[in-house]
Structure 1
Amino acid sequence: MRARLAAVRPLAIALVLTAPLSAQASAAAHVAAGVAAVTARAPGRALAQFQAATALDPVNFQANWRAAMALIDLGQRTPDSVRSAPRDSLYAEAERYARRAVAASPDSADGHFALAVAVGRASLSAGKKARIRRAGVVRTEALRALSINPRHEGAYHVLGRWNAEVMRLSGFSRFVAKGFLGGAVLGRASWQEAVDDMQRAVQLNPRRITHRLDLAGIYADQKLYPAARAQLDTIARLPVVDYMDPIYKQDAARLLRSLGR
């Protein structure tokens, strides 16, 4: 009996020691399957895989930040102009995953990028003062991503949009926000920063439709219509790669028609 127990004990110890490694390996397999689903423009399938990975390994960085982005893709199916509790719930969940990703790997740019996007999206349903406070978080997280990876196209895109959205506010709204709602950081926004940041995103990934679409919108706001049309014409020739690209192409065609020739 003692001999049998002695033989079993090392096996039991080995199983205990290898169980976490097995879970991590399984989580990695789910992450890989999720990435493949993203490539196939299937964010619902991707999310299921990333969530399966976090169930096995809750602090898996890749699974958490990618789950956040999949949730954002799903939320974007409902336009920002439409009030939607289900969409807002997706964005709130995305923010939770992004915060877990940053906690798991604070020195990884993708986590800070995901958090910047998620906080911005989740702010749609917040009150005015909360939106202003969270606007500062969006900027801070995007800048943090760039401090880690100066070539992060997504972070440049976030900063470009941040500057543009602030500048699209009326002068009075910006004055009230800066003076009475704790939004001093909004004073750092400018149209030139919006252009520079979005141009940099396009330079880093010229085939990403969303970069060119938002750059065209910024040009149009500045009445730089030939530059806007050039971006929109390019979008018409680009292949569909990301989940939202078909919608972005429709938006680009609509904007081009509105600008005329």
Structure 2
Amino acid sequence: MSKLKVSFYHAIKIFLVLQQQRNHLSAFSFLNIFFKAEDTNEEKLKKYFNHLTITETIVQADKFHENGKYLEVYETLNRIRLVNDPEVLWRIARALYNLNSSNKKLKKETRCAMMEEALFVLQLAFGNGGIDNAEVHKWMAVILDTHYGLINIEHRIKFSPLVREHLIKACELNSHDFTAHHMMGKWSFQMCRLSWFQRIIAKYLFAAEPPKSEYEVAYKYLLRAEELRPRTVLANLYLLGETCVKLGQFFKAKYYLNLAVRLRPKDENEKIIASKANHLMRRLERYDLGKNALFYDPLGFNGNL
């Protein structure tokens, strides 16, 4: 290939890459339809030319995140996204996810576009040193499941093994991340609950069988999550109780469920979980025969404790 052809090839390649990034940069200009900007032009210029370092910009964005100002997080980080720093990129993906989940009136097309943008920035993060970043893996799992869940159940099933891989990697890279361990425990529990009939239906309707897991695996991750935030997260305590019931460890199940029902629900979703925990507790009360009877012990270890 001549030097002229090589130069022309690289010029075209660079143009296409820049054009793709430019398209993604402008992809969310339509968000102004949903969020009214009250800043004056002068205030906007100050925001975009504040001469902050990458670290200072991240700190500013994290403060917005703590206050639930997710659009401000996106706008703040989007200004420096071309540095391709994984710490910036996964936060952009998180902001897009939060914007998606916190605005119920958004159309499906808008939600899908936002998740596509989030996938794009996470892929950039992986290509720029994010392969060993626990947050990049965790948010890739969240965005994959959300994105393909918006498309249809077939895509969600097909990509669920990839979701699992990213969650496992996130837990390996950061053993102190409560959210990653809780999500992995919940994912395992949900896979275990699928009946053989549901698996057959999924296999023949969608040509993809859901991945399998074990309740022991779910218990392992949920227990680690509980160790990280003991007696504080209602959803995790309830799932631990349910998992122990499935494992036949009824004494442990009652312990976790009792902790769950004593926590004050923070929102409507937690009220529903608390109600389920109460219902499961009442079912177990029928078999209140003492520790040896409540704790499934086929090998007879209880007598030696």
Q: TM (normalized to structure 2)?
A: 0.61
Alignment partner of 2:131: what SS? coil
Structure 1: distance between partners of 2:117 and 2:272: 31
Q: C-alpha separation between the residues in 1 aligned to 2:269 and 2:198?
A: 27
Which of 264, 272, 287 matches 1:254? Answer: 272
1:71-112 CA distances to partner (integer Å, 9 max, x unpaired)? 222222367xx9844333333322222222222221111111
Residue equivalent to 2:113: 89
How much has 1:135 moved relative to structure 2?
Answer: 0.3
Where does the alignment leave 5 or more consecutive residues of structure 1 unmatched? 1-21, 237-245
Aligned equivalent of 1:204, options 204, 222, 228 = 228
1:216 maps to 2:238: yes
Quick check: 1:28–1:53 contact (8 Å CA) kept in 2?
A: no
Distance 1:251 1:217, change over 3 A: farther
Q: Which structure has the higher relative contact order (CA within 8 Å, separation 6+)?
A: 1
From the CA coordinates, give the structure whose radius of gyration is larger.
2
* Counterpart check, 1:190 vs 2:214: yes
Q: 1:132 to 1:32 in 2, by over 3 A?
A: same
* Counterpart code for 2:274: L
Greater shift, 39-48 or 109-118, is seen at 39-48
Asked if residue 170 in structure 1 is aligned to residue 170 in structure 2, the reply is: no
RMSD: 3.3
- Deviation of 1:51 after TM superposition, in Å, equals 1.6
Q: How has the CA–CA distance of structure 1 residues 23 and 65 changed in structure 2, closer, same or farther, with 3 Å as cutoff?
A: farther
Deviations 1:147-180 (A, max 9, x none): 3233333321221121122233332122454688
Distance (Å, rounded) in 2 between the aligned partners of 1:255 and 1:171? 26
- Residues 104-134 of structure 1, C-alpha deviations (whole Å, 9 max, x = no match): 2211111111111111111212334422221
Matched, 1:181 2:207: yes
Change (3 A) 1:196 1:147: closer
Change (3 A) 1:42 1:155: same
Q: How much does 1:50 deviate?
A: 1.9
* Partner residue in 2 for 1:37: 64
Partner of 1:133: 158
TM-score between both structures, scaled by the size of structure 1:
0.70
**What is the identity, as a one-letter code, of the residue corresponding to 1:98?**
L
Q: Where do 1:214-253 residues align within 5 Å?
A: 214-217=236-239, 219-220=241-242, 222=245, 224=253, 227-234=256-263, 236=265, 249-253=267-271
Contact 2:237 2:257 in 1 (8 A): yes
